[in-house]
């Protein structure tokens, strides 16, 4: 059986580009998938699971990259990573279910009143 392949163009929408923190988030996200995932910027190919490799892309604001995955979960991997790009590199705690109604109240430090 042939490996599944998924390809999509993504655009860096963060004003700071694909900076170090974002590269770390990307590699953590990509590492959740079994598929081989790479980003391509012209002649430069980067392993999306390697922070050093991702940093070689030099991807600033507006850079168009090709996102490519090969493996059994290729479509899911490309969908998840592409959504993360289009959402502007949200932190894990900014994703999905976090909302003000799910956040427990914060108690003031001991010895301080809440007024």
For residues 72 and 4, is the Cβ–Cβ distance under 8 A?
yes
7: closest CA among 56, 70, 59, 57? 70
pLDDT (tens digit per residue) in 10-36: 999 999 999 999 999 999 999 999 999
pLDDT at 38: 98
* CB atoms closer than 10 angstroms to residue 8: 15
Question: At which residue do the structure tokens 């705690």 appear?
Answer: 93
pTM of the model: 0.76
Which residue(s) pair with 36 in the sheet? 70
Q: Domains in the chain, start-ordered, CATH in brackets?
A: 5-88 (3.30.1340.10)
Known catalytic residue at 16? no
Whether residue 86 is predicted with pLDDT greater than 60 in this model: the reply is yes
Catalytic residue among 16, 19, 24, 112: 19
| Tokens describing residue 59 | 């991807």
pLDDT (tens digit per residue) in 92-111: 654 443 333 444 444 555 66
| Tokens describing residue 63 | 């850079």
pLDDT (tens digit per residue) in 58-69: 999 999 999 999
């Amino acid at each position: 059986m042939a490996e599944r392949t998924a390809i999509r163009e993504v655009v860096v929408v963060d004003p700071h580009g694909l900076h170090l923190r974002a590269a770390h988030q990307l590699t953590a996200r990509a590492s959740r998938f079994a598929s081989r995932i790479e980003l391509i910027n012209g002649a430069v190919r980067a392993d999306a699971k390697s922070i050093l490799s991702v940093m070689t892309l030099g991807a600033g604001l507006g850079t168009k990259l090709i996102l490519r995955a090969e493996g059994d979960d290729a479509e899911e991997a490309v969908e998840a990573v592409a959504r993360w790009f289009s959402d502007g590199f949200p932190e894990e705690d900014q994703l999905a279910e976090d909302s003000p109604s799910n956040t427990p109240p914060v108690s003031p430090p001991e010895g301080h009143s809440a007024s």
